[in-house]
Amino acid sequence: MTEPPEEIGRAGSQSGGGSAEGSSSSPAIPAPEFTLNSLDGREVSLSDFRGKVVVLNFWATWCGTCRAEMPNLERAYQAYKDKNVELVGISMDTDTQLVESFVKEVGVTYTILLDPSHRVASDYAIWALPSTYIVDEKGMIVGSEIGQLAESMLKNMLDQALEE
C-alpha cells in the first residue's frame, strides 16, 4: 500500500503514540462514506451511525498486532457502547469463514464489516494494519492511529471526541 493522501494522513493524527490532547490541532475532515456487508450479511453504511462517535478499526486475521489489539477494543466497546459510541471493525480478509471463527474465538461483540476488495481501505488510505480512525457525531475524522492502539490512548481519544 502507498502513503496516505495528505488530508487523510493529517486528520486528527495520533500516529506514533502521541497524546490524544494534540488531535484538536489537526483539522477534522469528512470521513469517506461507505457501505459494506457485515458478518451476518446485512449492508451497513457509515452514515447508519451518524449522531454517534465511531471507532473504525481496519484489521486482518493474519495481522498479529491486530489480534493482540482486539481484546482492548472489545473492553473499550463494552465501556463506551452506552455513551453514544459505536466500534466497527473492518476486516481486510477475503475468507469470511476465517473471520467468523476468529471473531467467535476472541469474543468480539462489536460490529464487524468485510472489505475483501480493500475498496474502503483504499478510500481511507490504509497502508498498515491495524489502523484506527475516530469519527465524530457529524461524520468528521477527529483522530487516528496507525499500529496497535493502547487502551488508555483509545480512552483518551474517545473522551475527547465525546466532549467536542
> Binning pLDDT at 50, 70 and 90, where does residue 37 land?
very high
Q: Which is nearest to 37 in space by CA: 139, 115, 152?
A: 115
Residue ranges making up the domain that contains 54: 48-162
Q: Is there a domain that residue 122 lies in?
A: yes
**37 in any annotated domain:** no
CB count in 10 Å sphere of residue 83: 11
H-state helical runs in the chain: 6-10, 64-80, 96-106, 119-123, 151-163
Distance CA 78, CA 110 (A): 9
Q: Is residue 6 part of a domain?
A: no
* pLDDT (0 to 100) of residue 26: 65
Q: How confident is the model at residue 164 (pLDDT cuts 50, 70, 90)?
A: confident
In a domain, 121, yes or no: yes
Q: Give the Cα separation of 147 and 133 in Å (integer).
A: 11
The per-residue pLDDT of the chain, averaged, comes to 87
Domain-embedded: residue 86: yes
Rounded CA gap, 64 and 79, in Å? 24
State the DSSP H helix or E strand holding residue 56, giving kind and residue range, or none if neither.
Answer: strand 53-59
Q: Is residue 92 domain-resident? A: yes
Q: Are 122 and 131 in contact (CB under 8 A)?
A: no
Q: Write out the three cell numbers for 139.
A: 461524520
* pTM of the predicted model as reported, rounded to 2 decimal places: 0.85
Q: How many domains does the chain have?
A: 1
Cis preceding-peptide flag for 130 (omega within 30 of 0): yes
The model's pLDDT over 130-156, given as tens digits with 9 standing for 90+, comes to 999 999 999 999 999 999 999 999 999
CATH of residue 85's domain is 3.40.30.10
pLDDT tens profile 63-122: 999 999 999 999 999 999 999 999 999 999 999 999 999 999 999 999 999 999 999 999
CB 99 within 8 Å of CB 61? yes
The pLDDT score that the predictor gives to residue 10 is 41
pLDDT band at 28 (very low <50, low <70, confident <90, very high): confident
> Where does the pLDDT of residue 14 fall: very low under 50, low under 70, confident under 90, or very high at 90 and above?
very low
